[in-house]
Chains A and B, each alone.
Chain A
Amino acid sequence: MTLRVDGISTGYGEVQVLYDLSIEARPGEILCLLGRNGAGKTTTLKAIMGLLPLTSGSISLDGQTISTLPAHEVPQQGIAYVPQGRRLFKELTVTENIEVGLMTRGKSAQTRERVLAMFPRLRERLNQRAETLSGGEQQMLATARALCLEPSVLLLDEPTEGLQPSMIALIADTVRAMRDEGQAIVLVEQRIEAVLSFADRVAFIENGHGREVVETFALRDDPSLLQKYVGI
């Protein structure tokens, strides 16, 4: 499904972070949000999840407005979120974290099996509390929990932060597999080489304003935009 963010403005209380920002995530495509720290990338994802009140603009999924829904109904439309810093339910076990994901859209044991097949390491640790997992395993669990929604849109906020290369590769493979299944993927990622290797399009964000949206291959040939918005 196509996720359209249409001219949204939002922020935290009195502090406005996003100004009239628009992006579009299409099915079967990885859209990467790129910008400096504090540009508003995480805020954009939170706004999509309905966690922040919009002061203007709207968000829609295949033409259906979702920005007027209460926050807990947004994921039920098929939007799954892997938050920054993973935000697992730390004192719950791996099983229970997955159970929360399954409950969101009432998915069955079949979904659970499918997700666990993607991350066999989690199957060995089902009764462990989430906080006792290694960083890589926690990221697997955060991703698995999101995939339990069988989402049509997947939002990932710095999923490879602080992970070792083998783990980064696993997460990247998973994200690509999801794209190939036809999910629309919105990714916040800081590491340029990762962006260039698997994003399809890149949307630049600067100080809360949406800037150029370009195909990734164009950036490989001409990195001047990277220089301009990220400083590399």
Chain B
Amino acid sequence: MDFGPHLILAILEGAVGASVLALTALGLSLVFGVMRVVNVAHGEFFMLGAVVAWFVASTLAGHPAVGFLAALVIAPLVAGVIAMVVDRIVLKQVEYDPEATIVGTIGVLYILQQSALMVYGPEARPVEPPFSHRIALPWVDWGENGFGFYFPWGLSTTSYKLFVIVAAIAILLTFWLVMSRTRIGLIMRATQLDRETALAFGIPVQRVYSMVFGFGAALAALAAVLIVPIQQAHYLMGHDPLLLSFIVVIIGGLGSVRGTVVAALLIGMSDGIISVFLSPTLSKIIATLLVALVLVFRPQGLYGKKMA
């Protein structure tokens, strides 16, 4: 394949990765922003989403779309409810102390991971996509008859991959609308800005924390349901999303929605492109290097605010 079509392919792969990464990282960023909790178990909620999606899809007979749609609802719910329980029995008990919650969520990480191993097993299992048409993509080139469209061999994507990108954009827009236009969004933003004053104005901060933690986990699970028809569910699949989410959130600026989305695009796209042309290891090296540079030259991240 020529360089041009190859690049298009890499960009498409990158865009799928970036979409899923944006959703996952947004969950992490929301939880840190509002609760000041670094959720090390975030990747496990992602894994949980994928595993639950497999259970739901394999239980429900019929057209794969039925199982997929059910998973799209059930997996985030399950992850969200488990996260709320974690909030009550772990985070609340240590009074949201920044260091204690890191240690606490490391414990949660292993509990969730090993529970998945016991219940789900060590296999990687696929979930059938609800639809998956091969879409050949055209390319413009100088041919025998001058400039013309043709369909290079191998330059194709699937309708499902395009759906993932569109769905992620729709979820991001919904998230933004909820945060900026609704009462519940206002409550979360007020709590994020000043916890004590929020209490003095009748905002039940404890309940908001539970909800935010559940909401963050649900976003990760939702991202996983979207990706599992492409990637397969496995009990160790939470590592990469966790690492990449941290990279995204640090580059974008902790707690900044805009920064998270921009950084997810940057990291997701470069990860896709560099992985296709060079090697996946190199793309991780570059992403980590980027984090180091950001921490040295702009510690608050691209869109973060300096801590007072």
Question: Could you tell me the distance between the alpha carbons of A73 and B206 in the complex, rounded to whole angstroms?
Answer: 12
Q: Is the CB of B201 within 8 A of A100?
A: yes
Task: Report A-chain residues with C-beta under 8 Å of the C-beta of B199.
Answer: 49-51, 71-72
Interface string of A91-115 (1 = CB under 8 A from B): 1100010011101110000000000
Q: Is the CB of A70 within 8 A of B193?
A: no
Task: Report B-chain residues with C-beta under 8 Å of the C-beta of A51.
Answer: 196, 199-200
Question: Could you tell me the distance between the alpha carbons of A103 and B190 in the complex, rounded to whole angstroms?
Answer: 12
Interface presence of B197 (CB below 8 A): yes
Closest residue of chain A to B207 (Cβ to Cβ) is: A72
Question: Could you tell me the distance between the alpha carbons of A87 and B186 in the complex, rounded to whole angstroms?
Answer: 16
Task: Report A-chain residues with C-beta under 8 Å of the C-beta of B201.
Answer: 75, 100-101, 103-104, 145, 149
Interchain CB contact (< 8 A) of A103 among B196, B200, B202, B206: B202
Q: Is the CB of B190 within 8 A of A72?
A: no
CB under 8 Å from chain A, chain B span 177-194: 183, 186-187, 189-190, 193-194
Closest residue of chain B to A76 (Cβ to Cβ) is: B202
Closest residue of chain A to B193 (Cβ to Cβ) is: A89
Q: Is the CB of B204 within 8 A of A91?
A: no
CB under 8 Å from chain A, chain B span 147-171: none
Closest residue of chain A to B204 (Cβ to Cβ) is: A72
Interface presence of B203 (CB below 8 A): yes
Task: Report B-chain residues with C-beta under 8 Å of the C-beta of A87.
Answer: 194, 196-197
Interface presence of A81 (CB below 8 A): yes
Interface presence of B41 (CB below 8 A): no
Q: Is the CB of B197 within 8 A of A72?
A: no
Task: Report B-chain residues with C-beta under 8 Å of the C-beta of A101.
Answer: 201
Closest residue of chain A to B203 (Cβ to Cβ) is: A72
Question: Could you tell me the distance between the alpha carbons of A39 and B192 in the complex, rounded to whole angstroms?
Answer: 30
Given contacts A87-B197, A103-B183, contact A92 B190 (CB under 8 A): yes
Size bracket, chain B contacts = 10 to 19
Q: Is the CB of A92 within 8 A of B189?
A: yes
Question: Could you tell me the distance between the alpha carbons of A60 and B306 in the complex, rounded to whole angstroms?
Answer: 41
CB under 8 Å from chain A, chain B span 191-232: 193-194, 196-206
Size bracket, chain A contacts = 20 to 34
Question: Could you tell me the distance between the alpha carbons of A199 and B91 in the complex, rounded to whole angstroms?
Answer: 45
Within the complex, the shortest CB–CB distance from B102 to chain A, in Å, comes to 21
CB under 8 Å from chain A, chain B span 259-295: none
Within the complex, the shortest CB–CB distance from A144 to chain B, in Å, comes to 12
Interface presence of A90 (CB below 8 A): yes
Q: Is the CB of A100 within 8 A of B190?
A: yes
Task: Report B-chain residues with C-beta under 8 Å of the C-beta of A74.
Answer: 200
Question: Could you tell me the distance between the alpha carbons of A20 and B196 in the complex, rounded to whole angstroms?
Answer: 24
Question: Could you tell me the distance between the alpha carbons of A89 and B194 in the complex, rounded to whole angstroms?
Answer: 7
Task: Report B-chain residues with C-beta under 8 Å of the C-beta of A40.
Answer: none
Question: Could you tell me the distance between the alpha carbons of A92 and B202 in the complex, rounded to whole angstroms?
Answer: 17
Interface string of A48-85 (1 = CB under 8 A from B): 01110000000000000000001111111000010100
Within the complex, the shortest CB–CB distance from B233 to chain A, in Å, comes to 39
Task: Report A-chain residues with C-beta under 8 Å of the C-beta of B204.
Answer: 70, 72
Question: Could you tell me the distance between the alpha carbons of A50 and B277 in the complex, rounded to whole angstroms?
Answer: 60
Task: Report B-chain residues with C-beta under 8 Å of the C-beta of A145.
Answer: 201
Question: Could you tell me the distance between the alpha carbons of A81 and B196 in the complex, rounded to whole angstroms?
Answer: 11
Q: Is the CB of A72 within 8 A of B202?
A: yes
Task: Report A-chain residues with C-beta under 8 Å of the C-beta of B183.
Answer: 99, 103
Within the complex, the shortest CB–CB distance from B29 to chain A, in Å, comes to 15
Question: Could you tell me the distance between the alpha carbons of A99 and B196 in the complex, rounded to whole angstroms?
Answer: 17
Task: Report A-chain residues with C-beta under 8 Å of the C-beta of B189.
Answer: 89, 91-92, 96
Task: Report B-chain residues with C-beta under 8 Å of the C-beta of A100.
Answer: 186-187, 190, 198, 201, 203
Within the complex, the shortest CB–CB distance from B205 to chain A, in Å, comes to 7
Within the complex, the shortest CB–CB distance from A229 to chain B, in Å, comes to 28
Which residues from chain B sit less than 8 Å from chain A, CB to CB? 183, 186-187, 189-190, 193-194, 196-206
Could you list 27 A-B pairs, sorted by A, with CB under 8 Å?
A49-B200, A50-B199, A51-B196, A70-B204, A71-B200, A71-B205, A72-B202, A73-B202, A76-B202, A81-B200, A87-B196, A89-B194, A89-B197, A91-B189, A91-B193, A92-B193, A96-B190, A99-B183, A99-B186, A100-B186, A100-B187, A100-B190, A103-B183, A103-B203, A104-B201, A105-B202, A145-B201
A49-B200, A87-B194, A89-B190 known, 6 other contacts, Cβ within 8 Å: A73-B202, A74-B200, A76-B202, A96-B189, A99-B183, A100-B198
